[in-house]
Amino acid sequence: MTTYDYVIVGSGIAGLYTALLAKEKGKVLILTKGSIADCNTRHAQGGIAAAIGQNDSPELHYRDTIAAGAGLCDPEAVRILVEEGPQRITDLINIGVPFDTTEGQIALTREAAHSVPRILHAGGDATGEHIEVTLSRRVLYSTINVLEYCLATDVLMENGQVRRVRALDLRGGSTEEFECRNVILATGGGGRLFKYTTNSEVATGDGIALAYKAGAEITDMEFFQFHPTALRLPGVAPFLISEAVRGEGGLLRNVEGYRFMPDYAPKADLAPRDVVARALVNEMRKTGSDHVFLDVTHLSPQTITTRFPHIYQFCIDHGLDITKGLIPVAPAAHYMMGGIRTNVWGETNVPGLFAVGETACTGVHGANRLASNSLLETVVFAKRVLDKSLLEDRSTPPTVASDRDCQVLPGRRTVSGAPQLGLFALQSLLWGKVGIVRSGESLESAADMLATWEGMLPPTTDRPSYELNNLVLAGRLMTEAALSRKESRGAHFRTDFPRTSQRWLRHIVFRTPS
């Protein structure tokens, strides 16, 4: 049997970029449950943040990131993000990512809660696609072994160390085990927990379940970012209308045509995402509508079609010319701030197990992610994962968290006459009761239902059944964390505790009972 130096699970930016670094150091295998192209990364539109502009500095980027995180960012992790970010951008350029330029300089745009223009983009609003295509080409023409349609199901330990990954070959149906020295989980987020989401079908929180079952700590799960502006058209899956559209001057109006954001925040349309998302919910409730409008008709058609060609075309394909008509939008689940707890080297508390990308919680986002920091986080911490994994001394377990912080999932009463567990039922429950606006009552009832469904899980035989099992576990971790946090902070808002409390200036961490 081949022993790999690195088994990497996932083929988004996190998996591919880490693999390209790792191939210089050893034998690398990527397992991915769809085709290599199936991931959230390719849908990223706005771009990647980095302090490379003339009026910008890592210090300014640091301050914006810390402010967005509402008190829960790890200052050391943020410092690393903003200081190492520009070097990783240079690496991406050297790898061949074609960032847009104006007059020979990298073009930078502005997004909400950034104090200066600092977002690099490619192909206008097709940044993720360009990154993904560039990296995957490099991977496919290298020595890296890629197994597509291969679903990782377990991380297996030996003598307190990660030793193997078990996976289901989705085409042949067989179970395989891959021996390795390091496992890097790069499995992305969990937007599929919710009925409305901008995320692709792969975002089912698998990494959370894999890590949790292996004994890793999971943290900050109560913080899930809802993007305010996803296209809301009947029969069309929520399609992201990038924040950069508001950055370029797009304005939100309710269905009566009223421009409401100045009533909610000094920064109006460019307020942080959680503030805008809640304002939309309020306006939709007040006007009895399931959407508001985003208005770009005052921008020149040329600005719209050159700056947002992808969004423009998607809307045209669905019968909407956004240069002339208003865009119906509503919030949708977008980004999982919490995840597998890591230190600033991407290490989990399980020796040999690393996490990178959206599945990891490095501490840079705190209670709310600053737009376009996630792609940057991925490349910055991927490099650090690799640097750390090269160190041979495994005698001491990684320092990640202190035990006294950790909770176990509580037992709960079961709900009699509970409806059948299914993906849609789960997503509707979480959208309705653990969504943008929560309360103790809604969270309690969701927690009871999830615990009941945990006893009704389907046997794991194929991708949908594994994913449903993983979603129920991730949903439980999210709901119990939201119930524990008796305050509102960042993306977590409770009507019964609408204020932020100093007492909750701490993280909620779960681990399997030992």
Ligand X SMILES: Cc1cc2nc3c(=O)[nH]c(=O)nc-3n(C[C@H](O)[C@H](O)[C@H](O)COP(=O)(O)OP(=O)(O)OC[C@H]3O[C@@H](n4cnc5c(N)ncnc54)[C@H](O)[C@@H]3O)c2cc1C
Active site residue ranges:
273
Straight-line distance from the first to the last Cα atom of the chain, in angstroms, rounded to the nearest whole number:
31
Q: How many C-beta neighbours within 10 Å does residue 93 have?
A: 13
Per CB under 6 A, 9 contacts ligand X = yes
Residue nearest to ligand X as judged by C-beta position:
12
Q: Contacts with ligand X in 373-402 (CB under 6 A)? A: 374-375, 378
Out of 124, 128, 272, 338, the only residue in the binding site for ligand X (CB under 6 A) is 128
Count helices and strands (H / E) in the chain. Answer: 13, 22
Shortest distance in whole angstroms from residue 108 CB to ligand X: 13
3-state secondary structure of 341: strand
Given the structure tokens 């290599």, which residue do they identify? Answer: 36
Shortest distance in whole angstroms from residue 144 CB to ligand X: 14
Shortest distance in whole angstroms from residue 208 CB to ligand X: 10
Cβ-contact 122, 89 below 8 angstroms: no
Q: Contacts with ligand X in 348-377 (CB under 6 A)? A: 357-358, 372, 374-375
Which of 152, 400 has the CB closer to ligand X? 152
Per CB under 6 A, 46 contacts ligand X = yes
Per CB under 6 A, 247 contacts ligand X = no
Shortest distance in whole angstroms from residue 274 CB to ligand X: 16
Out of 19, 126, 184, 186, the only residue in the binding site for ligand X (CB under 6 A) is 186
**Segment near ligand X (CB under 6 A), from 72-80, 93-101, 198-206, 270-278?**
198-206
Per CB under 6 A, 232 contacts ligand X = no
Which of 188, 328 has the CB closer to ligand X? 188
Given the structure tokens 């989980």, which residue do they identify? Answer: 185
Which residues face 328 on adjacent strands? 293
Q: How far lies 46's CA from each of 43, 70, 184, in Å? A: 10, 22, 27
Per CB under 6 A, 406 contacts ligand X = no
Rounded to an integer, what distance in angstroms lies between the CA atom of residue 116 and that of residue 138? 33
Shortest distance in whole angstroms from residue 170 CB to ligand X: 9
Per CB under 6 A, 152 contacts ligand X = yes
**Segment near ligand X (CB under 6 A), from 42-50, 176-184, 384-392, 400-408?**
42-50
Burial class (CB in 10 A: 0-12, 13-18, 19+), 434: buried
Residue 302's φ and ψ, nearest 5 degrees, are -65, -40
The DSSP call for residue 460 is -
Cβ-contact 406, 44 below 8 angstroms: no
Rounded to an integer, what distance in angstroms lies between the CA atom of residue 511 and that of residue 99? 41
Shortest distance in whole angstroms from residue 460 CB to ligand X: 11
3-state secondary structure of 452: helix
Q: How far lies 26's CA from each of 178, 233, 297, 498, in Å? A: 15, 48, 53, 51
**Segment near ligand X (CB under 6 A), from 25-33, 90-98, 251-259, 479-487?**
25-33
Residues lying near ligand X in the complex (CB under 6 A) are found at 9-15, 31-34, 38-41, 43-48, 127-128, 151-152, 186-188, 198-199, 202-203, 206, 240, 335, 357-358, 372, 374-375, 378
